[in-house]
Every structure is written in structure tokens, then in C-alpha cells.
Structure 1
Amino acid sequence: MSLQRKSLTRKLDGDRIITMTIQDTLKELVKKRGLRKVASELGIDHGQLYRSINSDLRVSTLQAILNLFGYDLKIVKRKEVKSGKEKPSGSRQ
């Protein structure tokens, strides 16, 4: 199964972009295998799975689904970290 790698670096609405990207990926995985089959393999009702992937996703649910499909959720530190002390664009010195 080949999924396109999606960029999480866009600055539209930080958390929302990441959540939407993860949910879109999960929806694609579940759709390919089948909602009822995935729910059965997870030991939950298919309605519960549907609601989970279409609303605010709990980390435990995310991990269970990713584990089922053989994926790991990793947070990797960037090589270069911004100090956070940069002046916002358009500010005067």
C-alpha cells in the first residue's frame, strides 16, 4: 500500500492541519480495507470507528488504528530549531 507523504509544515492553522492530515490518511487506510472489517479487527463497533475518524481523534484510538496497519507514530526533532525570539514579519526594529 503506497500513501503519498503529506507535508505537515503548512502554516494555515497548525494543529488543525496536522489533525486533518492524520485523519485523511487514516480514512484512506480504513477505506481500502473496509470500515466494518477494520472495526471488527479492532474489536469496536463500526459506528464508533466512523465517529472516531471523523471527529477529534484520541491518541489511543490513533495508535490502535496505526498499529493495526503496521505504522508507528513518531515525533522527530528537526535538526534546526528556531529560537522563538524572531520578530514577527512586518514589525519595526
Structure 2
Amino acid sequence: MINRAVDERVLIEMRVANDGPSVAVAYLLWFFLGIFAAHRFYLGRPGTAILQILSMFVLVGLVWLVVDLFLIPGMVRDKQEELRRSLGMHAR
């Protein structure tokens, strides 16, 4: 029984690593397409991505873009955890 639980956990972690978002990709999107909030779309946050794009017109978006530089790792972890929960539910 314990081996099966460990095997399921390993399988879930492999899926998260393969299917989940990447910090490196998120930063590349932030660097090259940050003005279009591509990193937020990539991380499954379309609502805040649209708000960020719209706020660019009043320069608040540029500050928000710099703040995202520090928020990206947490957003990736949140998305990975969401994927873990989803995969854990399907494994049972």
C-alpha cells in the first residue's frame, strides 16, 4: 500500500515537472513580451493579465511589470500546486 502511494506521488511530480509551468519560460515571456502580460497569460491569470495591459496606458502597468519580476516564482508554485491537486484527484 505504501509503495503504491509513493509511486502515485512520483507519477504526479513527474507530470507536474513535464506539464506544469516553468519559471524560466515565465521569465522569458516577462522579459520579451511583458508589455503584453504574456507571462500572466502563461501562468493562467488572464484576468490580471488584461488589467495589467489596460493599466499600461496610465503607467501603473510598468510598475506592476517590475513587481511581477518578484512574483513570478510564487505564481509558478501556485500553478504547479493546482496541477498537483488536480492530478491527485484523478489518481484516486
TM-score scaled by length of structure 2: 0.32
Larger RCO: 1 or 2 (CA < 8 Å, sep 6+) = 2
> Relative to total residues, which structure has the larger helix share, 1 or 2?
2
Structure exhibiting the larger radius of gyration computed from Cα positions: 1
TM-score scaled by length of structure 1: 0.32
